[in-house]
């Protein structure tokens, strides 16, 4: 763990700034939170406004937040390389999340890396070709993604694979670590499905399934893969419990335990016995706390999955919105949480997905309906975890 991250003051600056550079994308993913479309929407930030945004990110000070060019597909922006060049000139750390379409060629990959994009994330929702291609809406995307991952790895970029866990991908999830292993990818960002945009309740999982998935991911992180989650903060609770000697068998019951055991047996069958301690690090970011999302038109959100705007960078500087807007402040304080999240002993470590609470209950401070944890069950363990930057450092 980078020691700098342990000292990162989330009240002052975000760790990650996601910029939805455009809504345009050639894919038609079933679960797209952006409801992306083929053509750009009017009102996108202009190149000049993009430069200003990048300057504002630089003004947070060094080390700067990481600017992630996302979308839609950032490769649909004709000025993408101008924006990257500007970012490099003002010293902003940058990453990109390109869509895998005909626009992403070996040459484009090379240009991205050479222009200063050190990290890329590519989406791979399933190790099964037909499942991934069906979700992405374009045949051939799966094969092309594997190819693109190899290009970036060969170019020396850090490659992160993003996988959305949802009804359509749950069955194949336990086969993913073997694919990552074969590809040589070391970072796996697992998105816990939030019903928003094109992805709706039909793809949602039950709380008992999420709990099993969380413990499974902790186990998967013992195979040399750093596992992180998006909108699945209770993964941290699973990691904390395991780190302090609470086994999945003590937490999971009935069909939840069966699902976990089934997934782990596939893991063992495909990768053998685990080789490392769990790599389930967290710096405790959550929507609005360390994370900020800039919409295509400059609206500022606590995450891409939480469509409640706290302001617009065309009107107010990003720093002011992030540090002082009521929404961001309340999200960071953690004292406004309701329901089980408000009562939970793990709330400072986890806090539930604010995006999911909003999507399902219309209130970003409500309890996360995907969580099966009953507050009070492991109070003494929670006290040990707190919000340590590295959960497993003391194991």
| Cis geometry, peptide bond prior to residue 105 (ω within 30 degrees of 0) | no
The distance of closest approach from Cβ of residue 312 to other proteins in the complex, given in angstroms and rounded to an integer, is 12
Is residue 254 close enough to count as binding other proteins by CB under 8 A? no
CB 47 within 8 A of CB 79: yes
Binding to other proteins by CB under 8 A, coded x per residue (else -) over 142-181, reads: ----------------------------------------
Site string for other proteins, 291-330 (x = CB under 8 A): ----------------x-----------------------
- Nearest CA to 145 out of 132, 158, 130, 164 is that of 132
Q: Name which of 3 and 254 has its Cβ closer to other proteins.
A: 254
The whole-angstrom separation of Cα 134 and Cα 141 is 9
Q: Does 224 bind other proteins (CB under 8 A)?
A: no
- Which of 16, 8, 85 lies closest to 318 in space, CA to CA? 16
Q: Determine the Cα–Cα distance for residues 138 and 134; give it in Å rounded to an integer.
A: 7
DSSP 331-371: HHH--S--HHHHH-TTTTT----HHHHHHHHS-TTS--TT-
Q: Which is nearer to other proteins, 195 or 290 (CB)?
A: 195
Write down the least CB distance from residue 135 to other proteins, Å.
Answer: 14
- CA 321 to CA 334: how far, in whole Å? 18
Q: Which of residues 26-55 bind other proteins (CB under 8 A)?
A: 35
Cα torsion through 177, 185, 77, 117, rounded to 10: 150
Q: Which is nearer to other proteins, 96 or 359 (CB)?
A: 359
Min separation Cβ 315 and other proteins, Å:
14
Q: Does 3 bind other proteins (CB under 8 A)?
A: no
| Minimum distance from residue 360 beta carbon to other proteins (Å) | 6
Looking at 202, 245, 272, 386, which residue binds other proteins (CB under 8 A)? 202
Q: How far apart are CA 367 and CA 308, in angstroms?
A: 17
x/- map, 356-385, other proteins, by CB under 8 A: --xxxxxx-----xx---------------
Is 159 strand, coil or helix?
strand
Q: Which residues bind other proteins (CB under 8 A)?
A: 35, 195-198, 200-202, 204, 206-207, 307, 358-363, 369-370
């Amino acid at each position: 763990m980078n020691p700098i991250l342990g000292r990162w003051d989330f009240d002052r600056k975000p760790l990650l700034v996601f910029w939805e550079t455009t809504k345009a994308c050639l894919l038609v993913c079933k679960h797209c939170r952006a409801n992306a479309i083929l053509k750009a929407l009017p009102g996108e930030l202009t190149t000049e406004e993009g430069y200003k945004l990048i300057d504002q990110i630089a003004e947070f000070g060094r080390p700067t937040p990481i600017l992630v060019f996302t979308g839609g597909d950032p490769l649909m922006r004709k000025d993408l390389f101008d924006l990257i060049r500007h970012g490099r000139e003002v010293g902003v750390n940058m990453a990109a999340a390109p869509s895998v379409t005909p626009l992403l060629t070996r040459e484009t990959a090379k240009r991205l890396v050479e222009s200063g994009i050190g990290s890329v994330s590519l989406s791979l929702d399933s190790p099964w070709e037909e499942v991934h291609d069906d979700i992405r809406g374009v045949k051939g995307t799966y094969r092309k993604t594997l190819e693109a991952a190899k290009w970036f790895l060969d170019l020396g970029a850090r490659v992160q694979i993003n996988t959305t866990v949802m009804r359509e991908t749950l069955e194949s999830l336990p086969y993913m670590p073997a694919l990552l292993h074969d590809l040589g990818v070391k970072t796996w960002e697992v998105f816990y499905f939030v019903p928003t945009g094109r992805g709706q309740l039909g793809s949602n999982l039950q709380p008992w399934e999420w709990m099993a998935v969380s413990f499974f991911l902790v186990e998967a992180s013992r195979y040399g893969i750093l596992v992180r989650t998006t909108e699945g903060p209770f993964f941290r609770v699973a990691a904390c419990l395991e780190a302090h000697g609470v086994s999945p068998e003590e937490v999971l019951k009935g069909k939840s335990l069966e699902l976990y055991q089934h997934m782990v047996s596939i893991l063992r069958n495909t990768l053998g016995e685990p080789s490392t301690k769990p790599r389930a690090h967290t710096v405790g970011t959550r929507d609005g706390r360390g994370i900020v999302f800039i919409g295509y038109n400059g609206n500022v959100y606590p995450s891409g999955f939480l469509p409640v705007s706290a302001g617009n960078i065309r009107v107010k500087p990003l720093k002011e919105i992030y540090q002082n807007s009521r929404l961001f402040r309340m999200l960071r304080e953690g004292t406004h949480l309701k329901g089980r999240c408000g009562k939970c002993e793990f709330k400072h470590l986890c806090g539930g997905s604010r995006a999911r609470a909003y999507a399902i209950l219309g209130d970003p401070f409500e309890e996360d309906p995907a969580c099966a944890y009953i507050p009070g069950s492991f109070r003494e363990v929670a006290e040990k975890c707190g919000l340590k930057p590295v959960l497993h450092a003391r194991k």
